[in-house]
A and B are shown apart, each in its own frame.
Chain A
């Protein structure tokens, strides 16, 4: 009846996961109980869970990402503290538990921390920057989000029910085959990533369509803000790369479930093929994360320097070059598998070439600041912190691309330091910069700057200490994923990195305090005009938070930096644009499709993991019926009357006019 699922799946004899699991379950149940008892459920259901508004979906993505970043960070704390104790000792985490933790850390940080954060920012900002009302397929967008949430739920369920993969964040055969990993851990990985991967692929399709087909009148490709370009490049990469991952994991599932031999090294199977396919997705994935991050920095650095982005067209070229080149480098993961001098030499050079457009971007950001008026806000600090630290990550990446250097550094702590150096300083710093930058647009008030700056300084200091120590540990020959060690030379640097993580904890605490303080002081931090940073692109042309339809009338674009042009004219003439002719606006109806689909997808995943076949079949039927019901609905849109549109828009025009008159008075004085 319940397949492999028995009471033994719950770790009653292991205190650490049991207590951790119990605390998480208690918090989740507590939050749900509070929502229901306080009567927030109808509001949440109507305004968020069933919302197909790209802004709401974007906010939910970022919220999921923030929670998962904290979950992944707690894994990091466990690993650092285990290493602090595990010198010539077993430490407090046995291998079967420690191995799950570093696997879960990687999976959660990449798939449920970094990815949703970047996709969340894309969701929130891209349609606004393009000057349109929503993404191309709003309901599909909601389905994408909820499938991602479903994957995150499954990964976290493995904490309490059963176990997670003990294979590292890529489940490489033969270790991940049934012979060597008979438990449910790898199956949790496979189903969580497959379900969320479907969501990601649909996001890619959605954004490629949105950016190619839905831009405000006059917004040609070479007038799009840089963030839209990077979102386009990342979405193209998703569309091209994610099917490889899906197919690869499907083949591994066939091996595990039905006794196929794709990767078994017997009966014609080959484990090398898994590595090959996995990294054919895995390396573009790095740029799926990094490119939107570069986009965020472009927006932030330009805005807070009070200047257009330097060499915009050159940046576009660099972005699209990275997009293409990212598919030519994956063999550098195999330098130490003996492919020979020619193969290694060719892929060393392709891997290095990708550093050229990346270097160009760094220099162009540098010259964006040159001749500017730099405002050192916390969003700008994250961007500067990125520029200073990321070049080290880039340089060590080029170093690892030199085969003879990789021969001694592959899989070492140096490598761990390198990819954290690029992922944290590009993607996470961009996430925090983007979060601070667009928060007032989303909620109508700014985040507290003092706590934001404190979070930055603690965060970057801890980051430099932890990964500085890791670089050195790599040169001392320490390899990754060791549950314990007995080399005396490593010990001091392990302790240094443990100290670094304490500093990072302070940074995370500041981020949480910042949010609480900002909500309490929201009236002081209120953004009344909709343009709190003196922005340059169209998201700042509408109110904060924007009305559901984004723009009362779609803006006309006459050049790069559409909103800066409008604003400059308004400042010269000391009056706003002509009021548009208000017309009724059709917007897509809310839909529970995404939530219900994800509910059934979770059932399917959980049932497949535990071999509960009837439940999997029931889930599949449910998911299909949800799709049929959605396809058969009669009304898909509702109309917002012109009077309502006018009312919302006039309110924003009034506050903007007041701000403009303030400028006029200062000028007169």
Chain B
């Protein structure tokens, strides 16, 4: 996918947004921190401007027509039988049609260029991350590094990341607002998402598809770090973290809310494929006694 340079209009709006609202905004979609999000914010703004050009005059005309032709205005010409005009009908059908043709073009091109499954253009090899949504936490597996983390995503900045996503219980949707494109996680299915963070920084991710009582706490910090910090984090996880074997994974699939972030130094080979193929058992759902037993454990 090719991401073009940021047009001045967007820069202007983005520059104005914090000034208008004050402070930095952790989630603002219009202030993206990666090429995918930036391209999407662009499309959002361009399409909005095109449509404002149609709807604002319509809104104004509605008010003007209603007020000018009000019953008590003797200056307005009453034409009780005027109910058709071929010319007006031509305009009335062609204005929406032309608008939609134009926006349809943007949609078609955008749907292909920004298809989440298409790898990003970069001279760096993408980092592979496997994502599993659980009740109610996120598991991130790093197959090339052999480590894993729960409720914390660490990625190297300025490097494309290819996510493979699935779910081990109900559906969720993986979304880091500042990076762009969300994508669903669904049991027995794998979705693909390519994202990149422009520079190092602290971001936030969350689930956008309702998944049950612990849904509101399914958010996680996203740390885009330098290459050396990333290597240090991998080594730290390897050195201190526990092993993610089938037993540890089975424990993870049990319902829990707001688990603090933690990492695993080793991952059982083929775990992700097993989850997708459902040879590894999926989340068991609510334990007897219901949600009262899965109150937050504290932490994040």
Contacts and interface: CB of A to CB of B under 8 A. Distances in A.
A96 B65 contact: no
B55 A366 contact: no
A341 interface: yes
Nearest to A485: B216
A369 B186 CA distance: 51
Contacts of A348: 104, 107-108, 111
B124 to A, nearest CB: 23
Interface in B79-107: 79-85, 88-89, 91-93, 95-97, 99-100, 103-104, 106-107
A310 B211 contact: no
Contacts of B99: 359
Interface stretch (B144-152, B188-196, B230-238): B188-196
A176 B59 CA distance: 42
A349 interface: yes
A226 to B, nearest CB: 12
A266 B103 CA distance: 40
Contacts of B247: none
B51 A352 contact: no
A369 B65 contact: yes
Contact of B103 (A310, A374, A402, A484): A402
A427 to B, nearest CB: 19
A352 B9 CA distance: 25
A465 B44 CA distance: 22
A310 B211 CA distance: 48
A337 B191 contact: yes
Contacts of B88: 311, 363, 367
Interface string A181-202: 0100000000000000000000
Contacts of A355: 96, 100
A309 interface: yes
Contacts of A402: 43, 47, 103, 106-107, 110
Contacts of B61: 366
A545 interface: no
Contacts of A370: 65, 69, 82
A403 B83 contact: no
A273 to B, nearest CB: 12
Contact of A401 (B107, B204, B206, B209): B107
B47 A399 contact: yes
Nearest to B257: A95
Interface string B21-40: 10101111110000001011
Nearest to B59: A388
A489 interface: yes
B183 A374 contact: no
Interface in A393-415: 394-395, 398-399, 401-405, 407-412
Given A306-B80, A352-B103, A489-B26, A483 B51 contact: no
A371 B97 CA distance: 26
Contacts of A167: 210
Contacts of B40: 404-405, 407-408
B2 interface: no
B160 to A, nearest CB: 17
Interface in B196-225: 204, 206-216
Interface residues of A, number: 93
B62 A387 contact: yes
B290 interface: yes
Contacts of A375: 70-71
A479 B206 contact: yes
A329 to B, nearest CB: 13
Q: Which of B29, B54, B214 has the most CB of A within 10 A?
A: B29
A562 to B, nearest CB: 15
Interface string B136-179: 00000000000000000000000000000000011101010110
A477 to B, nearest CB: 3
Contacts of A31: none
B83 A305 contact: no
B173 A411 contact: yes
A96 B293 CA distance: 12
A371 B77 contact: yes
A271 interface: yes
B52 interface: yes
Given A371-B69, A407-B182, A479-B206, A366 B83 contact: no
A398 B173 contact: no
A496 interface: no
A345 B83 contact: no
Contacts of B114: 403-404, 407
Given A411-B209, A412-B208, A477 B29 contact: yes
B208 A352 contact: no
Contacts of B210: 99, 167-168, 175, 411, 480-481
Contact of B44 (A182, A311, A359, A399): A399
A366 B113 CA distance: 39
Contacts of B81: 307-308
A484 B173 contact: no
A353 to B, nearest CB: 6
A606 to B, nearest CB: 23
Interface string A331-348: 000001110111011001
A271 B55 contact: no
A625 interface: no
Contact of B182 (A168, A359, A410): A410
Contacts of A404: 39-40, 43-44, 107, 110-111, 113-114, 181
B215 A349 contact: no
Given A369-B69, A408-B40, A480-B210, 17 more contacts: A166-B213, A175-B210, A182-B285, A306-B78, A336-B184, A384-B63, A398-B100, A399-B48, A402-B110, A404-B40, A404-B44, A408-B29, A409-B29, A409-B44, A411-B182, A489-B21, A489-B28
8 contacts: A96-B291, A182-B285, A310-B83, A336-B182, A387-B59, A388-B59, A411-B173, A483-B213
